Each structure stands twice: as C-alpha cells, then as structure tokens.
Amino acid sequence: MANKHPLSQFHFCPKCGSPHFVEHNEKSKHCENCGFTYYFNPSAATVAVIINEQKELLVCRRGKEPAKGTLDLPGGFSDCFETSEEGVAREVKEETGLNVTHTEFLFSLPNTYLYSDFLVHTIDFFFRCAVSDYKEAHAMDDAAELQWIPLSDLRPELFGLESVRKGITKLLHLLK
C-alpha cells in the first residue's frame, strides 16, 4: 500500500458518485460520467519548534495513535481557510495552552499519517514559534505530557513520527 498512490483507494466519483472514476494520469482520476477530474494533493500540517531561554525544546508525549506514547512536537493539520501560521498557533494553543506571538518558517518535509486506517499524505511545515509565557505550558488535547528537553540531549529516534524524526535531525544541524 505504501507504494500505491492514494487515489487507488477511491472507486467512485466524489462529485456524482459514478463508478466510472478512472485513472487520468499518475496524480489524478477522471469521471467518465460528469467530467470531473480530481487531483489528490497532500494535506497541509504544521509542526511547532518552541525553544526556551535555557536552550530546551518543548516536546509532547503523544496521547493517541499513531505512535501513542512516543515523543512529538506540538502541531497538526491546518484547517480550511486558515494559513499555516494560524494553524500552528491554534495547534500550540490546543495542545499546550501557550499563545504564539511570532512564527518563523524553517523548512517542510513530506510525511504520511495513518488516520482511521487511511494513509493521509501530508506536507509538514516546521515553524519556530515564540510564545508569550513558557511557564504556562500544560498538556492538553492529544498531548498526554509536555517536557522541556535540552537541545544537546535530543535523540531523534525517540520521536514516533518519521517526519518529526527527520525534522529534529535537520533542526539539530541548523542550530549548530
């Protein structure tokens, strides 16, 4: 399944429901009944990099699958009609209670995220986030626990999601 394009799971036109929803090219399907062509693109997701004055990174312990119990960074899917900057600020608030005061785009990485037995393809946007009061952080929503880890003690292999592991590795190289 990992090598198949996600469109292989779609058998009916999302516009008219026709079963005549056929491969158009490697990125899209086309309905032979209503003429609708659907391109499957990755979902936008955000990741927050929050570093305090002691050069410690705020990390979460995942409270839900996938990768429940492993380390993660605050973040999640961007909502419709929301910028990635707004999305990362909302996710930080939902998961940590912190208010983001400034965002700085760092980099992006492709990812897959298994949700409800469906492999969601994402593009994860990593942002360095400044927050109003580091001491107010507390675990909320799908974050089971929060902790501050010194940058020198970060171990990418402890992070459960592949793009976050790669992101931690990239971040450590950027901060050298």
For the purposes of burial, counting CB atoms within 10 Å of the CB of 141, is it exposed (0-12), middle (13-18) or buried (19 or more)?
middle
Co-location of 60 and 129 in the same domain? yes
| Catalytic pick among 32, 65, 145, 157 | 145
* Structural domain includes residue 31: yes
Average pLDDT value for the chain:
93
168: domain range?
A: 43-174
Q: Quick one: 82 and 158 in the same domain?
A: yes
In the chain, the number of structural domains is 2
Asked about 145 being catalytic, the answer comes back as yes
Residue-wise pLDDT for 39-79, tens only, equals: 988 999 999 999 999 999 999 999 988 889 999 999 999 99
Q: Mention every residue, 6+ apart, whose C-beta is less than 8 A from residue 111.
A: 45, 121, 122, 123, 124, 161, 162, 163
Q: Are residues 70 and 34 in the same domain?
A: no
Question: What's the token pair of residue 85?
Answer: 């900057």
Tell me: do 29 and 60 sit in the same domain: no
User: 148-173 pLDDT, tens per residue?
Assistant: 999 999 999 999 999 999 999 999 99
Specify whether 59 is located in the same domain as 20: no
Does a structural domain hold residue 50? yes
* Residue 120 covered by a domain: yes
pTM value? 0.88
Radius of gyration, alpha carbons of the chain: 19
Indicate if 54 and 15 belong to the same structural domain.
no
